[in-house]
């Protein structure tokens, strides 16, 4: 796909997410906005060809991070922030699921206290739709596959560390 096609794809994705968040209330009150404590050096991983107005740090591994200092224009936040702490995982048949992103487990009470929380189902529907849109593109599909493997590895690690 061309950069213009990717831009259109992310516009569609952001539209699908809209203003939906995991809860209908502000979950930041549960944790003091633990996921928005950027130090101007670390950041959220960008999806393939995702553009951002935040500054971008490219790691040796090729991973691109949108760097923030704990504040941003909410309407322009990266996709990873919009779907946090969940992720559209993919199986070997290409089916999309929405799972807790275990990479965030030590940070986010929505994962550790999921049994006690009433989530907004519309959010999960939207994340699944996002996964389906991403899976249509080869590079994004590969990103989903690699991320799913990472999430599974973290899940195993956390299970063993219990
Ligand atoms: S860490 Fe989890 S509970 Fe806290 S603001 Fe982020 S998503 Fe919400
Ligand atoms: S980009 Fe915005 S939403 Fe994402 S972690 Fe930084 S301050 Fe939070």
User: Residue 6: is its pLDDT beyond 90?
Assistant: yes
User: Residue 161: is its pLDDT beyond 70?
Assistant: no
Q: Pick the more confident residue, 13 or 161.
A: 13
Ligand 1 contact, 28 CB (< 6 A): yes
55-58, strands of its sheet edge to edge: 43-45, 64-67, 55-58
User: Residue 11: is its pLDDT beyond 70?
Assistant: yes
Task: Report the residue among 67, 75, 78, 80 best suited for mutation to probe ligand 2: largest number of ligand atoms under 8 A from its CB.
Answer: 78
* Ligand 2 atom at shortest distance from the alpha carbon of 36: 8
Dist. CA 102–CA 63, nearest whole Å: 19
Q: Pick the more confident residue, 1 or 97.
A: 97
């Amino acid at each position: 796909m061309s950069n213009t096609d990717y831009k259109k794809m992310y516009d569609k994705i952001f539209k699908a997410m809209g203003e939906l968040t995991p809860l209908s209330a502000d979950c930041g009150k549960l944790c003091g906005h633990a996921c928005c404590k950027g130090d101007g050096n670390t950041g959220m991983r960008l999806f393939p060809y995702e553009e951002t107005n935040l500054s971008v740090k490219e790691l040796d591994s090729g991973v691109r991070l949108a760097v923030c200092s704990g504040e941003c224009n909410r309407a322009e936040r990266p996709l990873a922030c919009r779907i946090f702490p969940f992720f559209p995982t993919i199986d070997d048949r290409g089916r999309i699921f929405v799972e807790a992103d275990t990479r965030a487990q030590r940070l986010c009470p929505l994962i550790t206290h999921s049994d006690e929380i009433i989530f907004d189902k519309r959010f999960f529907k939207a994340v699944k739709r996002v996964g389906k849109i991403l899976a249509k593109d080869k590079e994004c599909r590969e990103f989903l596959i690699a991320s799913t493997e990472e999430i599974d590895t973290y899940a195993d690690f956390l299970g063993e560390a219990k």
